[in-house]
Amino acid sequence: MSSEDAAATGDAAGQAATDADHENALQDVIAVDPDDVEQGTVNRLDAHTGDGIRHRAFTCLVYDTDGRILLAQRAPTKRLWDAHWDGTVASHPVEGQSQEDATEQRLEEELGITPDQYDDLRVTDKFEYKRYYPNEGVEWEVCSVLKVTLDDTSLDPDEEEIGGMLWVDYEHLHENPSLYRQLRLCPWFEIAMRRDFS
């Protein structure tokens, strides 16, 4: 084996070790067909590497009573779309978990938002999309959009999940997305926002 081959093998082994150590390697997501019909579970890391595996996901848009949306910056340690801005949390339900229950869980885990701060969590849309993140992986999801309005905007963000937070007038953001381009918005949020108000 040449020194170049050995180096390439070492790099591949190092990447495999890094991937295996990543928390995603220990989790499963729900594979689905284009109509969001379950096709069994798949390893979360497998679903987000190579050409990906279509799976179920959600994004939740969190508002206050003044019509502002809470943008949350993904932590810089995230494998995909690290340090991009989301509106507001996004993740995957596990087998047997509803989108609403999964969203409640992530709102509390990521932002410290508890169910007593809202009473209108609801699914408002669903779409399929596929986007590659250069040199890191891919998202291929049937993504449900949920919305919720906070009566109490107290937040307790988890720094391992959230890099920053920003309240933005949603109508202004929706009508003027180019003004917010420097924030580098997550693709699933941009799609959800583009489909909104239609």
Give the separation between CA 141 and CA 188, rounded to whole angstroms.
9
Residue bearing the bigger pLDDT, 104 or 23 = 104
Q: Are the C-beta atoms of 102 and 93 separated by less than 8 Å?
A: yes
Mean pLDDT, range 141-170, rounded to an integer:
94
Give dist(CA 177, CA 168) in Å, integer: 12
What was the pLDDT predicted at 11? 44
Cβ contacts of 56 within 8 Å, gap of 6 or more: 29, 30, 31, 32, 36, 38, 92, 93, 141, 142, 144
78-89 pLDDT tens trace: 878 787 899 899
- Position 27 scores a pLDDT of 85
Q: Which residue has the higher pLDDT, 198 or 124?
A: 124
- The confidence band for 112, taking pLDDT boundaries of 50, 70 and 90, is very high
Is the pLDDT reported for residue 21 higher than 80? no
57-86 per-position pLDDT tens digit = 999 999 999 999 999 998 877 878 787 899
- Domain at 27-195, CATH class: alpha beta
Active site residues: 141
Half-sphere exposure of 143 (CA within 13 A, CB side): 24
Using CA atoms, how far residue 16 sits from 8, 49, 67, 73, in Å, is 12, 12, 45, 27
Query: Measuring CA to CA, which residue among 103, 132, 131 is closest to residue 118?
Result: 103
Q: Where are the domains of the chain?
A: 27-195
- Three-class DSSP category at 94: coil
Please indicate if the annotation marks 139 as binding a ligand: yes
pLDDT of residue 154: 93
Q: What is the pLDDT of residues 176-189, one digit of tens each?
A: 888 888 888 999 99
- Predicted confidence at residue 15, as pLDDT, reads 43
Q: What is the pLDDT of residue 79?
A: 78
> 23 a known binding residue?
no
Where are the strands (E) in the chain, listed by range?
Answer: 28-32, 38-43, 55-64, 68-74, 85-86, 89-91, 122-133, 137-150, 162-169
Is the predicted pLDDT of residue 14 greater than 60, yes or no?
Answer: no
**Is residue 38 a known part of a binding site?**
no
Q: How many CB atoms lie within 10 A of CB 69?
A: 22
